[in-house]
Amino acid sequence: MNGLIIFGLLILLMATGMPISIALGLTVLTFIFGFTSVPLQSVALKLFTGLESFEIMAIPFFILAGNFLTHGGVAKRMINFASSLVGHWYGGLGLAAVLACALFAALSGSSPACVVAIGSILMPAMVRAGFPPRFGAGVITTSGALGILIPPSIAMVMYSVSTNTSLGAMFIAGVIPGIALASMLGATTWYRARKNNYPRQPRASWGERWAAFRKSVWGLLLIVVVMGGIYSGLFTPTEAAAMAAVYAFFIAVFVYKDLTLRDVPRVLLQSANMSAMLLYIITNAILFSFVLTNEQIPQHLADWLVGMGLGWIGFLLVVNILLLLAGNVMEPSSIILIMAPILFPVAVKLGIDPVHFGILIIVNMEVGMCHPPVGLNLYVASGITKMGITELTVAVWPWLLTMLTFLVIVTYWPALSLWLPHLMLK
């Protein structure tokens, strides 16, 4: 009953369009003042201590690292490297877009920024080469979402913070599904390009490939710093994020020279702005899940679902549908912070591996970014391709279908996500 009140209140407040963090906070306050006897003191204490976790602080550091490298110059280097590798195949520039997006989004950590950075360089190039604009728009919109699956990923930090899952395990688990999804999007691109006989690029020589690789490698080493540092035990995930931020600063200012020292305060301010917004949602989501736990709502939900005889297959189906629906109205970090604490106890009770469950949620979020009505990637892609949302929706369809197929695979084949972390962390 209390569960219905809480969620009814939350949905009502959110529907008015107020910031999600505020809707969460007001729901908690209203509930506490009106419906329960939870002492206000314990909630106030949560308000102070909720953020006091060193793990959460990986988020601002990763955002800072990403912002140093979210630059057109870095995007160009990734594109050159990608097209020197795969440009001569069918749909060459399209494949290059998939690869460049995967690399760039992994560095910058922001899907929409990836769509803009890669798209505004590759879209005109593709149209000039003779690709239909819809083809390019479809590839770039969907590939831009790859970044949240390929570590380092903010969405994964959100998941591990709200469910106490190991962040290192999540990052490692994302590698194989990330490569698999990139390959599947590439295969779709290749197949459609071959069928329609789209242009190919001249084959690059190994010398050119080496030159392009040498230029892009400084950015790509960021992934090595993070993953290598965490895996080898040199750093904790948060320290790895801070090292990544310092590394990214050094590369952007002294190696790539895309930024000057005078740009640094602006990058700091932008990063602080973005991180504070996410941390604010986190604070209020922690209050929210504190109230939920206090009312034992996740436990009741788990008992109820298990009592209905819902197995893990049925449960994951329900979870996918629920998250895809939520993806229609909200952006990924809010969905993860609100839904994960509720669904996680059920998943654990049904014997689903926390890491597998996390990867499933992340893939779900990727799909949500690429379809209407609120897919952020779709909106920024519409800006750079000058296509309407309706036309873009048609354009992304083949790749969106590929993503949904991939979602089914990830959902029902746990080994895909779990094999690598089990191998490396045992």
Partner 1 sequence: MKVLDHLEEWLISTLMGLATIIIFVAVIHRYLSGMPIPGVQDWLLTLNFSWAQEATIYLFVWMAKFGAAYGVRTGIHVGVDLFINRMKDKSRAKFVLFGLLAGALFTGTVAALGAHFVWANGAHYAFFHVLGIDTTGMTSGPTTPDLEWQTWIIYSAIPLGSSLMCFRFLQVAWHFRRTGDLPHHDHGHVEGIDEVTPHDVNPAKT
- For partner 1, the closer of residues 148 and 305 by Cβ is 148
Tokens standing for 264? 């640094």
Tell me how far, at minimum, the Cβ of 142 lies from partner 1, in Å.
15
Distances (CA, A) of 404 to 3, 159, 257, 340: 31, 21, 40, 20
Tell me how far, at minimum, the Cβ of 156 lies from partner 1, in Å.
19
- For partner 1, the closer of residues 262 and 426 by Cβ is 262
- For partner 1, the closer of residues 24 and 181 by Cβ is 24
Please, are residues 102 and 223 in contact by the beta-carbon 8 Å criterion? Answer: no
Tell me how far, at minimum, the Cβ of 14 lies from partner 1, in Å.
5
Tokens standing for 285? 């989501």
Q: Is 351 exposed, middle or buried (0-12, 13-18, 19+ CB in 10 A)?
A: exposed
- For partner 1, the closer of residues 239 and 303 by Cβ is 239
Tell me how far, at minimum, the Cβ of 370 lies from partner 1, in Å.
14
Tell me how far, at minimum, the Cβ of 412 lies from partner 1, in Å.
31
- For partner 1, the closer of residues 121 and 226 by Cβ is 121
Nearest of 380, 122, 107 to residue 226 by alpha carbon: 107
- For partner 1, the closer of residues 54 and 413 by Cβ is 54
The H or E element spanning position 301 is helix 297-307
Tokens standing for 182? 């990139």
Tell me how far, at minimum, the Cβ of 38 lies from partner 1, in Å.
14
- For partner 1, the closer of residues 279 and 346 by Cβ is 279
Distances (CA, A) of 268 to 186, 196, 261, 333, 425: 35, 46, 11, 21, 34
Tokens standing for 319? 């979870």
CA–CA dist 221, 174 (Å, integer): 17
CB atoms within 10 A of CB 207: 9
Tell me how far, at minimum, the Cβ of 382 lies from partner 1, in Å.
10
Q: How far apart are the first and last CA of the chain?
A: 43
Nearest of 71, 106, 103 to residue 86 by alpha carbon: 103
Tell me how far, at minimum, the Cβ of 283 lies from partner 1, in Å.
7
- Max intra-chain CA distance, the chain: 72
Tokens standing for 132? 């239909």
CA–CA dist 82, 76 (Å, integer): 10
- Evaluated on CA atoms 334, 339, 345, 348, the torsion sign reads negative
- For partner 1, the closer of residues 247 and 357 by Cβ is 247
- For partner 1, the closer of residues 277 and 318 by Cβ is 277
